[in-house]
Amino acid sequence: MSSTTTDSCWRHIGVYGGDHSCPQLKIDIHCRNCLVFKRAARRLLEREIEPLPPLSSAVQRKAEAEERSVLCFRLGREWLGLRCERVGEVAPAHTPRRIAHRANGAIEGLVAIRGELHLSVALIEVLSLGQRSEVGGDKSRLLLLTPEASPPIAFRASEVIGLRPIRVAAIEEVPSSLPPTLTRCLQGVVPFDHGRMALLDAAALLQALDEAVYR
C-alpha cells in the first residue's frame, strides 16, 4: 500500500489523473486494487444522506403549486376566466355603432379602441347567459380578443376585476346545469372570492365568436 494517505491520492500519484508515481502500483497494478482506494469507496457508500421524499408526494406538491393567471370578468350574473394570451385590450365600454343591414344576430356593431374600429359581438348572447342590455352600466368594459388568423374582435363585459391566480389542481368538471353553448367553450370551473368562476377555453371561445359573426 502506498505511504501516501491523503484523500484522493489516486488523482495525484495514481492512475485517475495522477502521474502514476505511486510505488503501490508496482504491486496492485491499478488504484481500484489498492486498499486506500477501497477504504475511500467504502466510506463514500456508508455516508448518511437525507432520504428523498416519495416520488408521489413530490409530484403532488408540484401539481398543487402550479398556478395560472386568468382575466376575470362577468357576463350578467356569470363569472368567467380567460387566459390573457388572446386578450389584446381592456377598455372603457361605450355603445357600439350599428352596422347597416346587420341589425339581427349577435353582432352589436363597431367600437373604437385606441383609434381603430373593431367588430363588437354580444358574447353574453352567444354563450346564452342573458341579453346584451345586461352588460351596461358604470362597471361595463370592452375586451378585445386577438385571434391568430383573423381580425381582432371585441365584446362588452358587465364587469372586469382583473387577473386572478388559480391552482390547476383546483379546477373542477363543468356542471351539467350550465347552458350547452357555454359548456362547449369551457375547460372547467374553480372556486374564487366571488363564488364560482367558469374557465373559458380560448380556442373554443374564438370558434364560437367566429360562428356568430359569419354564420
Above 60 in pLDDT, residue 75? yes
Looking at the structure, tell me whether residues 88 and 124 fall in a common domain.
yes
Please state the rounded mean pLDDT for residues 120-138: 91
Q: Which domain holds residue 143?
A: 63-214
Looking at the structure, tell me whether residues 29 and 115 fall in a common domain.
no
Above 50 in pLDDT, residue 122? yes
With beta carbons less than 8 A apart as the criterion, state whether 75 and 130 touch.
Answer: yes
Q: What is the pLDDT of residue 5?
A: 47
Q: What is the pLDDT of residue 3?
A: 42
Looking at the structure, tell me whether residues 105 and 190 fall in a common domain.
yes
* Number of compact structural domains in the chain: 2
d(CA 83, CA 85): 6
Looking at the structure, tell me whether residues 25 and 100 fall in a common domain.
no
Specify if 102 maps to a domain.
yes
In the sheet where 195-200 sits, what is the strand order? 159-167, 67-75, 78-82, 195-200, 186-192
Please state the rounded mean pLDDT for residues 103-113: 84
Q: Which residues, other chains included, contact 14 with Cβ-Cβ below 8 Å and sequence gap of 6+?
A: 20, 22, 25, 31, 34, 37
Find, among 5, 140, 12, the residue nearest to 75 by Cα: 140
Specify if 54 maps to a domain.
no
Confidence of residue 4 (pLDDT cuts 50, 70, 90): very low
What are 150-173's pLDDT values in tens digits? 889 999 999 999 998 888 888 999
d(CA 135, CA 128): 13
With beta carbons less than 8 A apart as the criterion, state whether 204 and 184 touch.
Answer: yes
Looking at the structure, tell me whether residues 204 and 121 fall in a common domain.
yes
d(CA 215, CA 136): 26
What are 175-212's pLDDT values in tens digits? 888 889 999 999 999 999 888 999 999 999 999 988 88
Above 60 in pLDDT, residue 50? no
Specify if 3 maps to a domain.
no
